[in-house]
Amino acid sequence: MNEENLRQIEQLIGYKFSNRLLLSEALTHSSAVDNRLLSNERLEFLGDSILAVVVCKALYDRFPDYLEGDLTKIKSLLVSRRTCARVAKQLNLLEFLRIGKGMVGTKALVGSLAAGLLESIIAAIYLDGDFEAAQNFILRTFAPFIDHADAKQAHGNFKSLLQQYAQQQFNTTPVYTLLDEKGPDHDKCFEAEVVVAGRHFSSAWGTNKKEAEQKAAFNALVELGVIENTPQDRGD
C-alpha cells in the first residue's frame, strides 16, 4: 500500500501513525497473503478486546442506574459485528482493505470482514500509540451508537426503554390499554396505546398484544424525543 493511501486513511480515522507498518498490516486480510501471520487476524483478536473494555467503561459511566443485565445487553449490541461493520463503512475504510481476488464482491466484505478491519485498526492504534489513543478513537467513532444505546437496548425492547425513561423523568410507570381488536380468531390484530403521567400517546396495531404494546411504546418514545422515527430504530 502506497504512502498516499496510508495518509488518506490516517485522515479518515483521525490518527497519525508513527509506525505505518502496523496500519498496513491492519488493512491486510488473510486472503491477500500466503502467510496468515502477515494478515490482520492477530490485530483483530486484540482490537476486539480493547473495544469491549472501552465500551464497557463508557456504559458503566453513562448509565449509573442500570443493572449488569441491562449493561450487558447494550454492550453486546454496540460491540457486535454488525455495528463494527457499520462504523467501518461510515469511515470509508473498506476501499482500502487488501483482500484476495476470491473475496471481491462477497457479502462477507460488508459484514465480518468490515468488522474485523475496524477491530484491527483499533489494535493498530493501541500498539502504535497507547490505550488512551485507542480509547479516543473508539469513543469518537462509536459516539452516535452510544448516544442511541437506550433506543437499541434489548434489540428493540421499547417497552423496557420507555419504562426506564418514565421512571427516571416522571417517577411513574407506563400504563398500556387495549383499545380494539379485529379479525377472526385465527388472524386477529390488536390496537394498543400507552399512557405516561396522564399523557396519551399515538396508538399502534400489532398481530398480537405484545407487538401492539411494543409499537405503542415506540410511538411514545418518538413523541417524547427519546429516539428518532427511522426504519433502523423501528427494526424494519
How crowded is residue 61: how many other Cβ atoms within 10 Å of its Cβ?
Answer: 8
Contacts by 143-148 with C-beta closer than 8 Å and gap 24+?
145/78, 145/83, 145/87, 146/55, 146/58, 146/59, 146/62, 146/78, 148/227, 148/233
Phi, psi (deg, nearest 5) at residue 187: -150, 55
Helix (H) or strand (E) holding 179: strand 175-182
119 is catalytic: yes
What is the C-alpha separation between 158 and 151, in angstroms, rounded? 7
Angle formed at CA 90 by CA 84 and CA 94, multiple of 5 degrees: 75
* 3-class secondary-structure state, position 77: helix
68 is catalytic: no
Select which of 25, 44, 48, 233 is catalytic: 48
* 3-class secondary-structure state, position 194: strand
Select which of 10, 61, 65, 119 is catalytic: 119
Helix (H) or strand (E) holding 228: none
Which residues are catalytic, by number? 48, 119
